[in-house]
Amino acid sequence: MTESLPSNVRTFIDLAKEVCNPDNIFIFDGTQKSYADICAKLVSSGALMPINSYLYPNSFLARSNPVDVARSEDRTFVCLPDGEKLYKLKPSEIPPTLGFTWGCRSSEIDAATGAEMTTEQMRAHMFKLFKNCMRGRTMYIIPFSMSPINSEFAKLGIQISDSAYVVANMYIMTRTGNGVLNKIKEGSPYIPCWHSVGCPLEPGEKDVAWPCRLLAKDRYITHFSQPDPDHKSFGNYSVMSYGSGYGGNAIIGKKCIALRIASKMARDDKVKWMAEHMLILHVTHTPCIGVDEKTKKKQYGPNESYTITAAFPSACGKTNLAMLEVPLEYRDQWHVSCVGDDIAWIRIDEQGRLCAVNPESGFFGVAPGTSDKTNRNAMETLRAGNSLFTNVGVTLDGDVWWDGKSDDPPAKIVNWRGNLMEESQYKDADADQEKKKKKAFIGQVAHANSRYTTPCSQCPIIDTQWNTGKGYPIDAMLFGGRRTKLMPLCIRASTWEQGVLSAATLRSEGTAAVSDRVMGALSFDPMAMRPFIGYNYGQYFQHWLDIGELAPKKPDIYTVNWFRKSDDGKFLWEGFSQNFRIVQWACLNARRKRIQGVIKEVEKDVTITPLGVAPLPNALMIDIKNAEQKKILADPQILTVDPKSSGLGNDWYQELSERKEYLSLYADDLPKKLVDEFNSLVDRFVEAGLAVPDGKTAQSLKL
């Protein structure tokens, strides 16, 4: 069967066969028939369950092992070439109160010596784990491309896996099949990708629906960026993932290749580029230029095109923004379309602009919170079918359900662990008790990190050019996290360097997308890339600064926060479709920049804060008293930066102090420009009247 493969791929597969010792080999050709066969096999084994085909045609439900439900950050390793360090400060030396850990580890500890393994020792350790790991199983060979196969952006890979579930997800999330093999035959390089659930079967042993290693310490997601000395023909890069079947750990094309490996490539390639954890949104503005005197109809000018990218940690509304629904009051002049919801590969074009493409072909979205109210376009994408749901609840008539899909859960539902749940479990004569029980009931239906995998092509607002491989010139970059206190709705950085600092010090409250994260705990997440940076963190920041030097027409950088709450716990911002107002403000700023060369501030629209330029209510059409025409009601507190504020969660001195402590972790890896930029930030807060606690000084905040 492998004789038809390109010779250099066959060399890899021959090695994989020798090491993994599978019973069978299957080359996935990327056809719809092969995908259907894979799904049928998963159904017959009990790994997938068909759901209601009337509601979701050709769609299935998977239930993972309860220990394998999220990315395993603590078991993710970035093994760099000799002489390179992912970080200098050991994870154990970071104060636990700071709310920061390195997103990946540089190596495993050798049990015999107590020392960190070298890169080649780590590789040898992985080969030892893979020895005979597929005994009793089928080895699937998955040729894949990140980005359209014929695009100049395309990066090709060959993934081996003993998980048919992974094959099905790769079919949706990447371009798979014979087209990739043809490009490799023509001379295009590829990245060898190893994956195994790590559960060989003995003769006669019955398999389980979701095989995986049950102990976290037995899972490894390992990235290499130097050649294997024993197999140099495979190139500089490879990935070896062992022990987990969960998407972020096992769908290697996604986070492993498209971010960790790609970010290293982007820095090291002769022509510099970027691989970022960003959505891509295309915005079209058709401005009204007047009203026809005779017909009284509005007249419109030519279309103006804008592209927004935005980076958020997982489960912070990134997909909702990527599939943004323009509020009704703006639809006569504004239209948005989705290019991608998670990853952007960014290159500098001949005009000096940063241009982005989406390297994926599917959405791997967080289900909880997704509904027709919050993201109708995502729901329409799912209703088109051809989707996989993982760890959601299912009703007795085959509908799927999760927290937030509707106001009330179904009367009877089978939860993500396969247990029947009924509304009688939370009904109570005491209304307060019933409310508490109902909340707990809902939380058990679907896992908080339950997912859907669905094709981009089905999205009702997918951009017509999304799959061409051509880059979209970026007009604005948004960075945001989940902050219930302190951070304003929106800030535009005055300079690229100021924007890089704000993105590098991004903080967010923890979500369920990571297995070891405390829900609600505040953590630093630089550029929303903390778990995905594939080389030294300080050098990654320097690369951002370098790109700013190389791209004369670089976009403006914004920080946003949809999640700020009042003292009584109520959200200050409606969010969802109303987030378009910030997108519109960024586009209009870009328009002024195109016409004037710079953004000339309009006094009634903005105010200057220590963090940067903040919009005033007028700029976003916010009215604090009466909503009329295109205005909405909002608390003006959502826009404020008050250096004099104090109190738990609202103390700018404390915030700056924690940012300093965090930046100090990078030691001399931190670029001097960011040191200077942070010290300037402190100066601006002092000038604005920063409240300094007794016994403290503002100067002590400086790096």
- DSSP-assigned letters across all residues of 394-410: EETTS-EE-TTSSSS--
- Identify the three-state secondary structure at position 556: strand
| pLDDT value, residue 316 | 85
Quick one: which of 164, 220, 213 has its CA closest to 65? 213
Judge contact between 459 and 319, C-beta under 8 A.
no
pLDDT of residue 241: 98
Q: What is the DSSP letter of 273?
A: E
The mean pLDDT of 72-92, rounded to a whole number, is 92
Residues 379 and 435 sit within 8 Å (Cβ to Cβ): no
Rounded to 5 degrees, φ, ψ at 204 are 85, -5
Query: What are the pLDDT digits (tens) for 581-634?
Result: 999 999 999 999 998 887 777 667 899 999 999 998 888 887 656 666 677 777
CA angle 575, 576, 581 (to 5 degrees): 70
**Closest among 62, 64, 54, 59 to 36, alpha carbons compared:** 59
Q: How far apart are CA 438 and CA 445, in angstroms?
A: 11
Q: What is the CATH number of domain 2-30+67-88+101-269?
A: 3.40.449.10
Q: What is the DSSP string of 450-481?
A: -EEEEEGGG-TTB-TTTTS-PPEEPSEEEEE-
Q: Select the CATH number that applies to the domain covering 276-366+461-639 from these four: 3.90.228.20, 1.20.1270.360, 3.40.1190.10, 3.30.390.50.
A: 3.90.228.20
Whether pLDDT at 279 is above 70: yes
Q: What average pLDDT is seen over the chain?
A: 94
Q: Is-same-fold flag (2-30+67-88+101-269; 276-366+461-639)?
A: no
What is the amino acid identity at position 567?
D
Helices marked H in 232-358:
247-250, 262-268, 318-322
For 373-449, where are the E strands, in sequence order?
Answer: 388-390, 393-395, 400-401, 412-414, 420-422
CA 689 to chain centroid, in Å, comes to 37
At 141 the pLDDT is 98
- Phi, psi torsion values for 511, nearest 5 degrees: -125, -175
In the set 20, 256, 316, 459, the catalytic residue is 316
Domain ranges of the chain: 2-30+67-88+101-269, 276-366+461-639, 652-701
Q: What are the pLDDT digits (tens) for 209-258?
A: 999 999 999 999 999 999 999 999 999 999 999 999 999 999 999 999 99
The closest of 432, 391, 435, 379 to 415, measured between CA atoms, is 391
pLDDT at 648: 74
pLDDT digits (tens, 9 = 90+) for 175-187: 999 999 999 999 9
Whether 459 is catalytic? no
Query: Considering only 8-12, 155-159, 314-318, which range has the smallest mean pLDDT?
Result: 314-318
pLDDT of residue 231: 95
Average pLDDT over residues 311-318: 86
Phi/psi for 76 (5° steps) reads -105, 125
Measure the CA–CA gap between 531 and 273, rounded to whole angstroms.
Answer: 19
Span 656-670, average pLDDT = 96
Confidence of residue 517 (pLDDT cuts 50, 70, 90): very low
> Using the 8-state DSSP alphabet, how is residue 325 labeled?
P
